[in-house]
Amino acid sequence: DTGVSQNPRHKITKRGQNVTFRCDPISEHNRLYWYRQTLGQGPEFLTYFQNEAQLEKSRLLSDRFSAERPKGSFSTLEIQRTEQGDSAMYLCASSLPGYNEQFFGPGTRLTVL
Amino acid sequence: GDSVTQMEGPVTLSEEAFLTINCTYTATGYPSLFWYVQYPGEGLQLLLKATKADDKGSNKGFEATYRKETTSFHLEKGSVQVSDSAVYFCALSSTGGFKTIFGAGTRLFVKA
């Protein structure tokens, strides 16, 4: 399968715990994006990488959130001290340079108890 | 800032009915416009796109025309099937932009 993959697909955690999600983009795509989607809403942009450089962060991304893409390939999104309001689907997408069509992964559904 | 507004759902239709889902946008410049679809239990998939005014995107019997004068990108299908039941998202990406801005989504139910 050459699409965008995300792991884990589901994560249940207790409030206050840290969680980390992984995204593997399509191999030749140098742009990588993270979005958050809550029930009944469209995805909301969180952050964007071009290669290993994080070029933009949304105000939605509080200081408890950090994203990395150390070698310009896969990316991780960490949430520290999770809160119930963090419960959502976290989506990763990738694209080729110069193209604004993004390809989405299946998402990681986070439930904070 | 840029935004997308689409009609609220759910929309319930009988099989073979005509579908329209309205979408309007606000953006500076000349954005690219998209319709994404999310089938139950699956990820977002690009359904169709248009990159400039008067372009018509089409796929799987769905169509949408980029109307700059009315800032709209309405989704249409002449005859829906039960398998079209899904959530449809209208979206835009601004010229030179790096993020896609989505509408809230419209859930479509098609009854046999």
> In this complex, is the C-beta atom of A60 within 8 Å of any C-beta atom belonging to chain B?
no
Whole-Å CA distances, A17 to A14, B19, B73: 6, 45, 43
At residue A98, the pLDDT reads 76
If you ran DSSP here, which 8-state letter would residue B11 be given? E
> Which residues, including other chains, have CB under 8 Å from residue A99's CB and lie 6 or more apart?
none
B105 with A56: Cβ contact below 8 A: no
Report the range of poorest mean pLDDT among A15-19, A27-31, A56-60, B44-48: A56-60
% of chain B with per-residue pLDDT over 90: 82
CA B67 to chain CA mean position, Å: 13
At residue B34, the pLDDT reads 96
The residue of chain B with its CA nearest to that of A42 is: B104
The residue of chain A with its CA nearest to that of B38 is: A106
> In this complex, is the C-beta atom of A48 within 8 Å of any C-beta atom belonging to chain B?
yes
Nearest Cα neighbor of B76 from B55, B60, B91, B94 is: B60
SS3 B82: helix
- Taking only the tens place, the pLDDT of each residue in B48-94 is 999 999 999 999 999 999 999 999 999 999 999 999 999 999 999 97
3-state secondary structure chain A: CCCCEEECCEEEECCCCCEEEEEECCCCCCEEEEEEECCCCCCEEEEEEECCEEEEECCCCCCCEEEECCCCCCEEEEECCCCHHHCEEEEEEEECCCCCCCEECCCEEEEEC
Residue A66 has pLDDT above 90, yes or no: yes
**Measured between beta carbons, which residues in chain A are less than 8 angstroms from residue B44?**
43, 91, 104
> Which residues, including other chains, have CB under 8 Å from residue A13's CB and lie 6 or more apart?
A19, A82, A110, A111, A112, A113
**Measured between beta carbons, which residues in chain B are less than 8 angstroms from residue A7?**
none
> Which residues, including other chains, have CB under 8 Å from residue B91's CB and lie 6 or more apart?
A42, B4, B33, B34, B35, B36, B100, B101, B102, B103
Q: Distance between CA atoms of B70 and B73, rounded to whole angstroms?
A: 9
Residue B95 has pLDDT above 80, yes or no: no
> In this complex, is the C-beta atom of A98 within 8 Å of any C-beta atom belonging to chain B?
no
Residue A80 has pLDDT above 90, yes or no: yes
**Measured between beta carbons, which residues in chain A are less than 8 angstroms from residue B57?**
none
Q: Distance between CA atoms of A3 and A102, rounded to whole angstroms?
A: 11
At residue B96, the pLDDT reads 64
If you ran DSSP here, which 8-state letter would residue B72 be given? B
At residue B97, the pLDDT reads 65
The nearest CA of chain B is from the CA of A99 a distance in Å of 9
At residue A79, the pLDDT reads 97
